[in-house]
């Protein structure tokens, strides 16, 4: 035995938004441009304090359109770059996200979801931006959409967001929510070197570099001259139409969709013998976890799938479900978004899919899930409800 004991790591009380910033810095983010908005502002505040210490660049921009544009520019200067926002700002960023997608720019966009369209309720939570994250910008386009369930998870998924964006040269959207962003938990963060970090691939040589041929990337000023445009373009970055536009669009889409099994991360519980499966994601998964515990104690064979990657959607996971599963319940803080993907994935099969939505700005409770499953399976009359604010 070595004399020196491994130093026991001391847990720290960290907020979800702080964990996001620490995750980004851990992944090597050296550029942040943003505009403050509740409930994402603490990410920006902490970035403004931490980035200058590492010779990184922090800029408060005039709005979110400028923020995403600055992030894209920084990525082409070779930086790992990020911005964070919430609904209204995320809407403004859609044009830039499309530009990042077609120009295959690695970058990370964090959207801490809040209630409703427009200004909505800045301090109330929701999972209402799922479809916007996937399809918010026009045209077929590749993006990866990730989410997280707890503070430590926010750190890990932020690192993963950078890794995927570098590996596949795509914008990666990380969906948080008001509760998770502002929540504090005891967390031990990993030490440098404990997580694998992916850097964008450099071409063997600058000479003859084709910027839109494959996953290799050369920043501006590294010896090659090329064109970057939001127009349909060929491998050299010059405008293209017809068959070449078709080929390029299919290529950039396939980067994601042909790698769905590598990109689609999830956690599962009791999948082997579950008759009812809760398909959940983000903050709602924590209510589901308690509900599973309670229902199992009652003898209801319930299982759980917690999706960490929302897009590309893991159809394969649903194709593999055994005949033991008869019902799926999809609880979300919206009126029915990811449930549509679940229904599509199981179409034509024996499974019944039910949705449980809540849109009053509060979390779905474990009790609501327990009751929904009792109704779904007809197993039991709901127990006396626990009072909830």
Beta carbon of residue 46, minimum distance to another protein (angstroms, whole number):
15
Beta carbon of residue 139, minimum distance to another protein (angstroms, whole number):
35
**Quick one: 204 or 297, whose CB is closer to another protein?**
297
Backbone φ and ψ for 58, nearest 5 degrees, come out as -120, 130
Closest CA to 147 of 317, 333, 362: 333
x-marked contacts with another protein along 288-317 as a string, rule CB under 8 A: -xx--x------------------------
Backbone φ and ψ for 113, nearest 5 degrees, come out as -75, 140
Q: How many beta carbons lie within 10 A of that of residue 9, not counting itself?
A: 11
Non-local (6+) Cβ contacts of 244 within 8 A are: 232, 234
Beta carbon of residue 38, minimum distance to another protein (angstroms, whole number):
8
The interface region with another protein, picked from 180-188, 203-211, 253-261, 309-317 by CB under 8 A, is 180-188
For residue 4, give Cα distances in angstroms to 1, 31, 192, 276, 356: 9, 38, 19, 49, 52
x-marked contacts with another protein along 339-378 as a string, rule CB under 8 A: ------------------------x-xxx-----------
Beta carbon of residue 253, minimum distance to another protein (angstroms, whole number):
37
Site size toward another protein, by CB under 8 A: 27
When asked if residue 383 is in the footprint of another protein (CB under 8 A), the reply is no
Question: Dihedral, CA atoms, 127, 128, 133, 139, nearest 10 degrees?
Answer: 160
x-marked contacts with another protein along 8-37 as a string, rule CB under 8 A: ---xxx------------------------
> Which token pair is 160?
């993963």
Of 9, 49, 63, 123, which one interacts with another protein (CB under 8 A)?
Answer: 123
When asked if residue 139 is in the footprint of another protein (CB under 8 A), the reply is no
305 vs 7: CA distance, rounded Å: 35
The interface region with another protein, picked from 54-62, 154-162, 257-265, 281-289 by CB under 8 A, is 281-289
**Quick one: 222 or 386, whose CB is closer to another protein?**
386
The interface region with another protein, picked from 17-25, 115-123, 137-145, 241-249 by CB under 8 A, is 115-123
**Quick one: 293 or 354, whose CB is closer to another protein?**
293
**Quick one: 20 or 252, whose CB is closer to another protein?**
20
98 vs 292: CA distance, rounded Å: 39
The interface region with another protein, picked from 71-79, 215-223, 279-287, 370-378 by CB under 8 A, is 279-287
CA angle 263/267/270 to nearest 5° reads 140
Neighbour-count burial for 79-98, b at 16+ CB within 10 Å, e otherwise: bbbbbbbbbbbbbbbbbbbb
**Quick one: 309 or 365, whose CB is closer to another protein?**
365
The answer to whether 165 touches 155, Cβ cutoff 8 Å, is no
127 vs 175: CA distance, rounded Å: 8
Binding residues for another protein, per CB under 8 A? 11-13, 121-123, 150, 179, 182-186, 283, 286-287, 289-290, 293, 363, 365-367, 386-389
């Amino acid at each position: 035995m070595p004399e020196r004991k491994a130093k026991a790591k001391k847990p720290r009380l960290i907020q979800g938004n702080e964990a996001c910033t620490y995750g980004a810095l851990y992944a090597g983010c050296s550029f942040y441009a943003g505009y403050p908005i509740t409930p994402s502002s603490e990410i920006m505040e902490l970035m403004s304090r931490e980035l200058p210490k590492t010779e990184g660049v922090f800029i408060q921009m005039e709005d979110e359109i400028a923020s995403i544009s600055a992030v894209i520019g920084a990525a082409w200067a070779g930086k790992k770059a990020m911005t964070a926002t919430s609904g209204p700002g995320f809407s403004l960023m859609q044009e830039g996200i499309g530009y990042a997608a077609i120009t295959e720019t690695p970058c990370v966009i964090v959207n801490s979801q809040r209630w409703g369209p427009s200004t909505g309720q800045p301090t109330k939570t929701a999972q209402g931006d799922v479809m916007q994250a996937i399809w918010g910008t026009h045209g077929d386009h590749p993006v990866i959409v990730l989410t997280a369930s707890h503070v430590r998870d926010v750190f890990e998924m932020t690192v993963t967001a950078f890794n995927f964006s570098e590996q596949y040269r795509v914008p990666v959207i990380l969906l948080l929510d008001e509760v998770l962003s502002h929540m504090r938990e005891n967390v031990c963060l990993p030490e440098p070197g404990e997580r694998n970090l992916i850097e964008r691939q450099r071409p063997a040589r600058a000479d003859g570099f084709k910027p839109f041929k494959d996953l290799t990337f050369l920043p501006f000023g590294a010896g090659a001259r090329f064109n970057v445009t939001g127009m349909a373009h060929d491998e050299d970055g010059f405008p293209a139409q017809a068959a070449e536009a078709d080929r390029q669009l299919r290529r950039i889409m396939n980067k994601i969709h042909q790698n769905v099994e590598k990109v689609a991360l999830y956690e599962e519980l009791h999948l082997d013998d579950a008759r009812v499966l809760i398909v959940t994601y983000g903050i709602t998964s924590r209510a589901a976890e308690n509900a599973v515990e309670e229902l199992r104690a009652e003898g209801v064979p319930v299982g759980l799938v917690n999706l960490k990657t929302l897009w590309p959607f893991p159809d394969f996971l649903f194709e593999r479900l055994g005949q033991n599963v008869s019902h799926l319940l999809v609880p979300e803080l919206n009126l029915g978004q990811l449930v549509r993907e679940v229904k599509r994935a199981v179409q034509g099969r024996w499974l019944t899919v039910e949705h449980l939505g809540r849109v009053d700005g509060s979390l779905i409770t474990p009790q609501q899930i327990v009751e929904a499953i009792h109704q779904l399976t007809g197993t039991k009359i709901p127990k006396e409800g626990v009072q909830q604010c």
